[in-house]
Amino acid sequence: MFTDGEQQSPVQIVFSVAKKRYKRAVDRNLVKRRMREAYRLNKQAQLYDVLSGAGKKMVLSISYIGKEISPYDFFEKRMLKLLIQLAGEASK
Structure confidence by residue, pLDDT tens digits, 20-63: 999 999 999 999 999 999 999 999 999 999 988 888 889 999 99
Averaged pLDDT, 6-20: 89
Q: Residue 79 CB: number of other CB atoms within 10 A?
A: 22
Measured CA to CA in angstroms, residue 4 lies from 1, 12, 58, 92 at distances of 10, 12, 9, 17
Averaged pLDDT, 5-28: 90
Q: Is 62 exposed, middle or buried (0-12, 13-18, 19+ CB in 10 A)?
A: middle
pLDDT of residue 4: 66
